[in-house]
Amino acid sequence: MRRWPWLLSNAGILTATVVAAALLLAIRRQLLAETAHELAERNHQIALQAQAHTETDAAERRVTDLYTTAVEQLGSADAAVRLGGLYDLERVAQNNPAQRQTIVNVLCAYLRIPQHHTCHRQGQGLTVIRVGGC
């Protein structure tokens, strides 16, 4: 063994260098894996927020559609359609506390509008028109 003493001392240095390089590589891989995991977590949170916003927008759109339809029904000539519109507004108000005051305002405004119901009665050749109940 005296012929190769430099090999033994160099083998130890070479082994230490390889182990140090492997350790640095393992640390780098671990850091990259942690960064990738954090990025995936962040993307997942962003996706959940986007989904929540989409669901909120869809719910608000449904409420707006129901509200618009109900208000349009209040302008109908048919009393049954107007009554349905009132019930629809009541349902929207019950299910959406944020819209209650707006719906109360609409109902109050609707009740303040003069309702003209005409009835034609023939009496001695004259046509009598009554406003209100017939």
Asked, for residue 88, whether it belongs to a domain, the answer is yes
**Angle 79-95/100-112 helices, nearest 10 degrees?**
160
* End-to-end Cα separation, the chain, in angstroms: 127
Q: What's the whole-number mean pLDDT along residues 82-93?
A: 93
pLDDT tens sequence across 3-55? 666 666 777 888 889 999 999 999 999 999 999 999 999 999 999 999 999 99
Contacts 24+ apart (CB under 8 A), 72-75: 74/106, 74/110
Question: What pLDDT shows up at residue 24?
Answer: 97
Question: What pLDDT shows up at residue 132?
Answer: 45
Question: What pLDDT shows up at residue 2?
Answer: 60
Task: Give the domain extent around 40.
Answer: 5-129
* Total Cβ atoms within 10 A of residue 70: 21
Q: Kindly provide the residue ranges of all beta strands, DSSP E only, lying in 1-134, ordered along the sequence.
A: 120-123, 126-129
Q: Which of 2-6, 12-16, 63-67, 87-91 has the lowest mean pLDDT?
A: 2-6
Is pTM beyond 0.85? Reply is: no
Total number of domains in the chain: 1
Asked, for residue 74, whether it belongs to a domain, the answer is yes
pLDDT tens sequence across 108-119? 999 898 876 555
Give the distance from CA 108 to its chain's centroid: 30
Asked, for residue 134, whether it belongs to a domain, the answer is no
